[in-house]
Structure 1
C-alpha cells in the first residue's frame, strides 16, 4: 500500500528546493498556480488541480500547502502553460505555430495594440486583456511577459496582420467589405499621391499624411483596426497606438451615420483617437503636436 504524499507550505517547499520564498511564489504565479489579489496569494483552478490546498492556522493565518513532489511548469518564454483560463501560449509558442520569431510576434502584438513595451519585457494592454491575454512575470528575472489562449491562432485581426507581415495577404482573404464600404470607396477613390507614396482620397488627407511624413512619424493609411468588426481608420501611428480620423463631409447623412458608428467602436475598445476637422487641417502645426503629445508621441 503506497503512502500518501505529504503536503507542506509554500515557504517550506521553497526551502526544500533551495529557493528564496519570494522567488518560489513568483514561480508558482508564473506557472498559473496562484494569483495575487488584495495583497494576498490565492489558489487558481490550475493550482487546485496540481494538489494545492488552502489551510488556516491560529498562529499563521491563511496559507497554501503543496505536494512535496509538485511539478512546477517552467515560466521560461518558450513554455506552454496552464492557468485557470485554460491552456496558454507564450509568444515563443505562438511563433513556432506561425513560423516567425518571438520578437516579430511580439512586435505584431504590439502593433495590434495588445501589448506595450515595458522597461524590460512586455505589458498587457486593455485591448490584449479583452482577448484573454494574461500578464506573467519571469520568476528568475522579474521581466514581464504575456501569455495567450490558443484561440489567438484563430483571431481574425491577428491572422490578417500575420498574412500582411508574411506577404501572403491578397484580395481573396477573409476580409469582408460591406456594400457601404464599397460605395464610399467608389465615391471617394484614392487618387492623390502623398510625399511618402500613399494614395489618399482627399486633399485634407494628403495634408495630414504629408505633415506626419515631414515630422518623421511612422504611420499607416487606412489600417484595419484589430477588432472583429470590419473597420478601417484614416491613419494609424504605431508609436502611442494612436488612430487619426478626419471628418470632412458633415453635410452627408450617410457619412454622419458612418462617423457615429466608427466613434462608437473606438469608444467600445478604448482606442486612442484623434479627430480632425477642416479647421484643424488648416492649423496642423498648432493642433497635431498637442494632440499627439497627449499619447506620448513627440514631434520636432
Structure 2
C-alpha cells in the first residue's frame, strides 16, 4: 500500500494553522529554505519524511508524510500564539465551516473579497490577521485565541444558534432602568417587528416595503453594551433615529453612542424628526452612499 502524503497547504488545514505559519515553523526548524520565490526541501526535511512532488498545473511542491502532522514542531507550546483558522473557530462554537465565515461577515469582522475573505477594522480589533494562500493568492483570515473569550462574540454565536445569551438583565429599579426598558416596544410593524415609537414604525415599514433586509435593535458586535435602532446586513449599515432631543440624559446617551460608532468605524445613518417626514427623499440618498439601492 502506497504511503499517503500531504502538500504543505493540506497539512496546514489538517493541523488548523495558516499555511504561512506552517512554512515559518518548517523554516525555523531547518526543514525547508526560501530561495528566491520558492520553498525548497532541505536534507533535514527529507529525513523528516518530506518529498518533492509535481502537479500538472502548479508544478513542483513539497509534500509530507501524513503522520508528520503529529510532529513536535506543531505542538501548542511551540506556537506563540496558535492562530485559529475560521474552521477551528467554527468548531469551537459548534458551527459548520461553511457557515462560520458568512456569520463573521454579518458581524462585521470580515468582508467578502473578489475571492476569499478580508479582515475589517473591527475584525483587527477582535484579533483577526490577514493571510493569503501562496499558490493562489486568495486571502483568508485567522484569529488570535483571545477572540474565544470576547463576550460580544460568545453572545452573538449563542444567539445565532438559538441559545440563551449570557448578558445580565438589569435589576428592576428605577435607577437602573434604561431607555429600552422604559419605553416598551408595543407598535407592530408590517413585517412583524415590535417597535417603540411611530417614527421607528415608519422607518421599519419603509425598509420592509423597499425589500431591504433589516434587524431591529440588534446589539453591536462590540464589548460595549450598545444596541442600534436598525441594522442592514447588506452594506453593514446601522440606522439611528434620534428623538427626544430636549431630554438631557437622552442627548448624553446619543453622544456616547456616536463615539462608539466612530471608534469602530461603523457605517452609520442618522435620522431625525424632519427626516421622518421625507423618508422617500432622504433614505435612498443616505443608503446609496453605502452602496445600497432602494428602488
**TM category, shorter:** 0.7 to 0.9
Q: Measured at CA, do residues 81 and 169 of structure 1 come closer, stay the same or move farther in structure 2, by a change above 3 Å?
A: farther
Shift of 1:159: 1.0
Separation (CA, whole Å) in 1 of partners of 2:258 and 2:222: 14
Shift of 1:103: 2.1
Q: Measured at CA, do residues 53 and 94 of structure 1 come closer, stay the same or move farther in structure 2, by a change above 3 Å?
A: closer
Separation (CA, whole Å) in 2 of partners of 1:281 and 1:290: 14
Separation (CA, whole Å) in 2 of partners of 1:118 and 1:180: 47
State how many pairs are aligned: 253
Deviations 1:65-89 (A, max 9, x none): 9955458899xxxx99999962111
Runs of 4+ in 1 over 4 A off after TM superposition: 46-49, 51-55, 64-68, 70-74, 79-85, 175-181
Separation (CA, whole Å) in 2 of partners of 1:138 and 1:73: 16
**Contact 1:81–1:88 under 8 Å retained in 2:** no
2:155 corresponds to 1:160: yes
How is 1:1-300 mapped onto 2 (pairs within 5 angstroms)?
Answer: 30-32=19-21, 49-51=28-30, 68-69=43-44, 86-170=81-165, 173-175=166-168, 177=170, 182-300=177-295
**Contact 1:177–1:230 under 8 Å retained in 2:** no
SS of alignment partner, residue 174 of structure 1: coil
Q: Measured at CA, do residues 126 and 176 of structure 1 come closer, stay the same or move farther in structure 2, by a change above 3 Å?
A: farther
Q: Structure 1 length as normaliser, TM-score?
A: 0.73
Gaps of 5+ in 2: 1-6, 9-17, 51-61
Q: Structure 2 length as normaliser, TM-score?
A: 0.75
Shift of 1:175: 4.3
**Contact 1:245–1:274 under 8 Å retained in 2:** yes
SS of alignment partner, residue 261 of structure 2: helix
**Contact 1:31–1:73 under 8 Å retained in 2:** no
Gaps of 5+ in 1: 1-17, 20-28, 35-43
Shift of 1:143: 1.8
Separation (CA, whole Å) in 2 of partners of 1:274 and 1:52: 54
Partner of 1:12: none
Separation (CA, whole Å) in 2 of partners of 1:175 and 1:257: 23
Separation (CA, whole Å) in 1 of partners of 2:90 and 2:168: 23
**Contact 2:220–2:226 under 8 Å retained in 1:** yes
Separation (CA, whole Å) in 2 of partners of 1:233 and 1:89: 30
Shift of 1:97: 1.7
